[in-house]
Amino acid sequence: MEYLARLLALHRRRIGTPKGARALGPFRQAVLVLRWFRERGCVHCLARDAGVSQATGYRYLHEGIDVLADQAPDLHAVLDRCRAEGMTHLVLDGTLIACDRVAGVRENGNDLWFSQKHKSFGGNIQFLSAPDGTPLWISDVEPGSTPDITAARLHVLPALYKAAADGLPTLADKGYIGAGIGIRVPVRRPKGRSEKALDIDTRTTNALIRHVRAFEGRQRATIVLLAARGRSNAWIAAQTRMHVDTVRTWRGRFAAGGLPALADRRRSGRPVSFTPLQVAEVKALACQLPAETGAPLSRWSCPELAREVVARSIAGSISPSTVRR
């Protein structure tokens, strides 16, 4: 809130707005803008709560959005920072931001802003994220009918080619097949045939790319992909910020068992003492007042609740500390 209010105050000074000339100060304008982002409520209601007209509410909202957008980093600056931080790769993807129906048609007569893929109106934006999924950069919007590969060619691919030449490749999904050198995408299966029609090396590469793009298994798949590029264990450990012994372990498991070996092994651990049904019954009992169950108490204590659980045969035995947990 305070950050946006400071940006709005600086913006007003920069454009020469006289003090007291606005219906709302920078802080109350920031409240209006952030409420719209958080609640997605109607601008009429936000303007009413702020004590301004609907037209002024729209003007203040768009001004706040523009001020925030000006703080977004430049694509080339983002790529320079990623290389300086030693990131192993970037992730490119696109998404559809829903919107109301917008006028405009394509050459074939279809609505320009209607996405056949998502079956809804919206705008296509491209974004880059770090290996851990942190958003780094977002493109300008294109009409919803624009394919991801077309939007990427317009906004981001030329810069990614230079980054790939400098050792920073990009991973993407099958929607970016044909994007060019440095954009690693899975290989599409032959039409009308299953994934097994691909050779084992291609299927393995496809699975590794999916694992790296997904949250689960990202670090393990990254180790394997970097190893396939001829990197040493020490270099991979430094880039992924893992211990060299961890890198050596996962490389060995993949070499011995392939992709299935990257999954967690079954752990013995302590057997479960209580079933999910018993846990739910104990929680339901704890949510009732003792008087409703006939117990002469004003509220449950853990020892009393444990005795009631045993008395009702919910469990054969249970300690007060287990009830507390």
Confidence grade of residue 296 (pLDDT, cut at 50, 70, 90): confident
E strand or H helix at 170: strand 170-171
pLDDT of 270 strictly over 70: no
The reported pLDDT for the residue numbered 30 is 92
E strand or H helix at 78: helix 75-84
The stretch 98-112 carries a mean pLDDT of: 80
Q: How do residues 162-206 score in pLDDT, each as one tens digit?
A: 999 988 889 888 889 888 888 888 888 888 777 777 877 788 777
E strand or H helix at 142: strand 142-143
Measured distance CA(147)–CA(313) in Å, rounded: 61
Residue 317 buriedness (CB in 10 A; 0-12 / 13-18 / 19+): exposed
Confidence grade of residue 269 (pLDDT, cut at 50, 70, 90): low
The model's pTM: 0.59
The reported pLDDT for the residue numbered 300 is 79
Provide the phi-psi class of 42: left if phi over 0, else alpha when psi is between -120 and 50, else beta. beta
Listed range (9-18, 283-292, 314-323) with the worst mean pLDDT? 283-292
Q: How do residues 40-78 score in pLDDT, each as one tens digit?
A: 778 888 899 889 999 999 999 999 999 998 888 889 999
The stretch 202-216 carries a mean pLDDT of: 70
Measured distance CA(96)–CA(155) in Å, rounded: 16
Confidence grade of residue 119 (pLDDT, cut at 50, 70, 90): confident
Other C-beta atoms closer than 10 Å to the C-beta of 66 total 10
The reported pLDDT for the residue numbered 214 is 63
The dihedral through the CA atoms of 245, 249, 251, 252 has a sign that is positive
The reported pLDDT for the residue numbered 268 is 64
The stretch 124-148 carries a mean pLDDT of: 89
The reported pLDDT for the residue numbered 267 is 64
**Residue 60 in tokens:** 């203040």
Phi, psi of 175 (to 5 degrees): -65, -10
Residue 122 buriedness (CB in 10 A; 0-12 / 13-18 / 19+): buried
Measured distance CA(232)–CA(194) in Å, rounded: 35
**Residue 16 in tokens:** 């020469």
